[in-house]
Structure 1
Amino acid sequence: MLKMLRKIPLLSQLSAGDLKEVHKISRIAEYGPGERIFSKAEAANQMFIVLSGRVKIFTLSASRKRKTFAYLQPGGFFGEMALLKGKTRSASAEAASCSRLLVIRKTDFRRLLASDPDLSYYLLQTVCERLRRANEEMESLLFQNILGRVAKTFCDLSKRGQKLDQGLILNEPYTQQELADIVGTTREPLTRALATLRRAQLIDTRDGRYWIKKPEKLEALCLIQA
């Protein structure tokens, strides 16, 4: 278990003693596909690290329209913002597949941060990056048309993709509904945008995953469609 914890980016800089302490104070929770982990506006008493599986972070509008902020893979963590602010959850989380999570209570998490400056610095970097992405998404929703928003979503997802001789391929498969939830639209306009990108030979599918054939041109499209 300690070897697994050492591979988690958030915990990789901890001393052997602190890593043993994390192992001691944490617990493992398992969730099935579609099972809710927590809901928006709930009291926050713990944070989570993905050990295996896939977790979706999202919110629902008053009209029940879903906006997905992220799909987290093993090594990703979530739920820390509410603990730092001492407020309720700002989004909901559910398992997108069978998932095993490391769970750390609020008091233990804060104690870890106080005792390890490197951990605090890494967490601060991650939080700042998430805020930057949130600002970019807000600008995209306000100023870009649907084609530009879909192109930007692919550009963002491709940063964690696998490079090929031509372009790159996303690390994981996304259904059209999952993409629509990330973009903040419905299936019909998403389907039209995907067809446009395919006709322009900017994207395709390969082994069940989206293939970004021309990343540079896709980046340029994000600017043109603003």
Structure 2
Amino acid sequence: MSQPTQHYFIEEYSEGTILFEQGEDGKRVYVVQRGMVEIRRSVKGQEALLALLGPGDFCGEMAIINERPRSAKAMIREDAELLVLDSDFFLELFHKDAEIAGRVARIMSQRLDHANRWLEVLLFKDPSERLIHSLRLVIEEQSETNYAERRGAVYVPLTLRELADRAGVTREQAIDMVERLAGDGLITSASAVDIDGPGYVVAEADLLLDFLGVSSHGSNPHAANGTA
């Protein structure tokens, strides 16, 4: 911890440290300065990875603004340095600074939509379905981010562990499904096509969506609530 004040301070956290648990009261907001934080949520006994937060991202704001218990768990994924703000100071900034309030509101809305999409995946009982629909959702998000149609090759920048975590399946289940997709020529590792980064490349996104039995306008069963 360095240069503490009454309302905010910077603190270093080691990998594996839990910042807060799902269901806890919200007392602090965390802004990532260095490292990575993962957001996880448990639904019907299945815990899944909802988001990975890096420098410039923040978490913990929703419970404070809505005055409700934490809707997810936050844990340090890589050794990190965080700016920690107490709830009173954060709310003062939120209510007095229109620019900050607007940015927080936009991000909260985006996160709510993102979380609901991922939580819908967990409603599928079969592990293979959850993983395949997780991959479908990543493709949709990549297409939205890049303002492109889901045609042709799509790079999915998730490691096997991250894909399994998001789908709430074991590593072995993820390996089995990835091998099946690779065997059908629908997916290949990023390294095999000389991409300098983790993840996979879907050779033809539309064919993969057909394989999943999901149209580009399809939807999953509804899930409620948002982020921490």
TM over 0.5: yes
Matched residue SS, 2:123: helix
For 2:57 and 2:207, locate their aligned partners in 1 and report how far apart those are by CA, in whole Å: 27
Q: Deviations over 1:187-212 (max 9, x none)?
A: 23221221123232433132461132
For 1:157 and 1:34, locate their aligned partners in 2 and report how far apart those are by CA, in whole Å: 27
* 2:25 pairs with 1:43: yes
CA gap of 1:210–1:56, structure 2 versus 1, over 3 A, is same
Question: What corresponds to 1:52 in structure 2?
Answer: 34
Question: What corresponds to 2:59 in structure 1?
Answer: 78
Normalising by the residue count of structure 1, what TM-score does the alignment of the two structures yield?
Answer: 0.73
Question: What corresponds to 1:9 in structure 2?
Answer: none
* 2:176 pairs with 1:187: no
Deviation at 1:223, TM superposition (A): 6.3
Deviation at 1:110, TM superposition (A): 0.8
Deviation at 1:28, TM superposition (A): 0.8
Matched residue SS, 1:168: strand
Question: Which of 125, 143, 146 pairs up with 2:130?
Answer: 146
CA gap of 1:222–1:204, structure 2 versus 1, over 3 A, is same
* 2:155 pairs with 1:168: yes
Please state which structure has a larger fraction of its residues in helix. Answer: 1
Question: What corresponds to 1:205 in structure 2?
Answer: 190
Q: How does 1:107-118 map to 2 (within 5 A)?
A: 107-118=88-99
Name the % identity: 26
Deviation at 1:42, TM superposition (A): 2.2
CA gap of 1:74–1:34, structure 2 versus 1, over 3 A, is same
Q: Deviations over 1:96-137 (max 9, x none)?
A: 111111111111111111111122122111111111122222
Question: What corresponds to 2:49 in structure 1?
Answer: 68
Normalising by the residue count of structure 2, what TM-score does the alignment of the two structures yield?
Answer: 0.72
Is the 2:39–2:75 contact (alpha carbons within 8 Å) kept by the matching residues of 1? yes
For 1:62 and 1:167, locate their aligned partners in 2 and report how far apart those are by CA, in whole Å: 32
Question: What corresponds to 1:216 in structure 2?
Answer: 205
Is the 2:136–2:209 contact (alpha carbons within 8 Å) kept by the matching residues of 1? no
Question: Which of 86, 95, 100 pairs up with 1:119?
Answer: 100
Matched residue SS, 1:33: coil
Matched residue SS, 1:149: helix
Deviation at 1:214, TM superposition (A): 3.3
Is the 2:29–2:59 contact (alpha carbons within 8 Å) kept by the matching residues of 1? yes
Question: What corresponds to 1:8 in structure 2?
Answer: none
CA gap of 1:89–1:215, structure 2 versus 1, over 3 A, is farther
Which of structures 1 and 2 has the larger relative contact order (alpha carbons within 8 angstroms, sep 6+)? Answer: 2
For 2:123 and 2:44, locate their aligned partners in 1 and report how far apart those are by CA, in whole Å: 19
Question: What corresponds to 1:134 in structure 2?
Answer: 115
Q: Deviations over 1:112-163 (max 9, x none)?
A: 11111122122111111111122222333336923532322532664679xx
Q: Which runs of 5+ in 1 are unaligned?
A: 1-22
Is the 2:186–2:207 contact (alpha carbons within 8 Å) kept by the matching residues of 1? no
Question: What corresponds to 2:74 in structure 1?
Answer: 93
For 2:37 and 2:156, locate their aligned partners in 1 and report how far apart those are by CA, in whole Å: 20
